Chain A
Amino acid sequence: LAKTTQPISMDSYEGQEVNITCSHNNIATNDYITWYQQFPSQGPRFIIQGYKTKVTNEVASLFIPADRKSSTLSLPRVSLSDTAVYYCLVGTLRVGYSTLTFGKGTMLLVSP
């Protein structure tokens, strides 16, 4: 199973770009990388997913280098409401086979 490592916490200010990196040195060929956001008293919520290179949606970008041993979630111009825990999930999900492994999460605190 791919083990993931993330920073425990990060601090930022409103309007700044935040980059959170997740290390997954033994990622398997079929594994995808998914990021979730979690607010207190709520379940995690999907942000973005990718396999390689760069993926962008309306809320974030995901950068994955060619060796896929790490990935970086980029949040442009964060606001106070982006204060949350961010989880990196690596693995694959197929019929009869699941290797999904969550990281321990990064607590992002955005200050005014």
Chain B
Amino acid sequence: EAQVTQNPRYLITVTGKKLTVTCSQNMNHEYMSWYRQDPGLGLRQIYYSMNVEVTDKGDVPEGYKVSRKEKRNFPLILESPSPNQTSLYFCASSTGTGTINQPQHFGDGTRLSIL
């Protein structure tokens, strides 16, 4: 089954304790992206990756890092989490770029609470 898998689905942690949210897709997609979703603000893009070893900042990249060493994986790293990063996070992937935007496939989300 084609899917985007995020882990963990839920996490409660404390300020300053490094954490990684993993994202994996099995569709051989070139494009992957991370979003955060907050009440009243909708979905905001954090980082995206056009392909292996190619990453770029989205609208809200501060406090986050990403890496794309393999095509299928795109982990989101919070080196020193703070309470304002408490949010619902989504990973997404799509078949690529070209001249037509391809629909994105989203994971089921990771709910992070930073105390």
Assess the A87–B43 pair: CB atoms within 8 A.
yes
Asked if A72 is at the interface (CB within 8 A of a chain B CB), the reply is no
Tally chain B residues at the interface, Cβ within 8 Å: 32
In Å, the complex CA distance between A34 and B33 comes to 16
CB contacts (< 8 Å) of A81 on chain B: these are none
Assess the A93–B102 pair: CB atoms within 8 A.
yes
Assess the A32–B50 pair: CB atoms within 8 A.
no
Assess the A104–B40 pair: CB atoms within 8 A.
yes
CB contacts (< 8 Å) of A100 on chain B: these are 33, 45, 101
Assess the A43–B109 pair: CB atoms within 8 A.
yes
Enumerate chain B interface residues (CB-CB to A < 8 A). 4, 31, 33, 35, 40-45, 48, 50, 54, 56, 58-59, 90, 92, 94, 97-109
- 10 residue pairs of the A-B complex, CB under 8 angstroms, read A1-B59, A32-B100, A34-B103, A41-B108, A43-B4, A44-B92, A46-B105, A93-B102, A98-B50, A103-B42
